[in-house]
Amino acid sequence: MKTLSHVDTWIFDLDNTLYHPSCRLFDQMHVRMSDFIIQHFGVDEVEAKRRRHHFYVKYGTTLRGLMVEHGLDPTAFLDYVHDIDYATVPANQHLGNALDKLPGRKLVFTNGTLGHAQRVLDRLGCATHFEAIYDIVDSSYIPKPDQRPYEKFLAVHGVDPTRSAFFEDLSENLLVPRSVGMKTVLVGTHDEALLPAHVDYVTDDLAEFLHGVSK
C-alpha cells in the first residue's frame, strides 16, 4: 500500500478497533455504567439509560457528563465500569504478526483506562508491540473527538501527524486526525459509498489491512 509508505507512526484506538465488536466488551461496560448510576443516584434502569444517553450526546462519554454535571470523582466510576470479563477477547496472532512487521512506532490512543487497555492487549497477545498507551487519564478525562486530547497526545509523544496513520471504529474520531494531516483508517463494516471525506481508508479486517501495508 504505497500511499502509506511515508508513515512511521501508527496510532490505534482500542475498543472495537484492535479487537472485533463480537467480543461485546462494550455490552458489559454499558451494563456496569447503568448499574453505577442506579446505585449512585438511586434511580431505576430506565432513568439510568436516559442519563447515559444524555451524557454521551452532550459530552462524548458518560463519565464526562457525570464529572461536569455532578462533580463525580472519575476513579470509582472507571474502576467499576472496567470490572468486566475479558475472556471473550481471543488471542490474535495474525494481528500480532502484522503489527510486528509495521515499520516505526505503534501507539494506543483510547477513551478507556490504562488498565483496561493493558488487559485487552494481554488477551490479544499484542502488548509488546506498542510503545505507549495514551488513556482517558492522560487526556485529562476529555474524550475523543474533542480536539484537546489529540493536541496533548501529539505533544506528549512527539508525533509528526504528517507521518502518521490513525485507526478508529468511529468516523467522528477521525475528524481531528485528518485535519492535522494524518492518514485515517475506519475499522469495521461500513458502506464505502457513504464514507465521509475525512476517511482515507476503510477495512473490516484490521490484521489483513496491516499485512497489506507491510508488503
pLDDT in tens, 103-143: 999 999 999 999 999 999 999 999 999 999 999 999 999 99
Band the pLDDT of 193: cuts 50, 70, 90. Answer: confident
Q: Which of 17, 18, 10 has the alpha carbon at shortest distance from 160? A: 10
CATH T-level assignment (fold) for domain 25-81: DNA polymerase; domain 1 (1.10.150)
pLDDT in tens, 52-83: 999 999 998 999 999 999 999 999 999 999 99
pLDDT at 215 over 80: no
Is-same-fold flag (2-20+90-213; 25-81)? Answer: no
pLDDT at 194: 84
pLDDT at 190: 82
Cα–Cα dist 214/193, whole Å: 26
Q: Where are the chain's structural domains? A: 2-20+90-213, 25-81
pLDDT in tens, 12-24: 999 999 999 999 9
pLDDT at 3: 82
Q: Which of 207, 153, 160, 158 has the alpha carbon at shortest distance from 185? A: 207
pLDDT in tens, 159-190: 999 999 999 999 999 999 999 999 999 999 88
CATH T-level assignment (fold) for domain 2-20+90-213: Rossmann fold (3.40.50)
75 class by beta-carbon count within 10 Å (0-12 exposed, 13-18 middle, 19+ buried): exposed
pLDDT at 204: 95
Q: Which of 63, 35, 79 has the alpha carbon at shortest distance from 144? A: 63
pLDDT at 2 over 70: no
**Dmax (CA) of the chain:** 56
Contact 178, 198 (CB under 8 A): yes
Give the pTM.
0.94
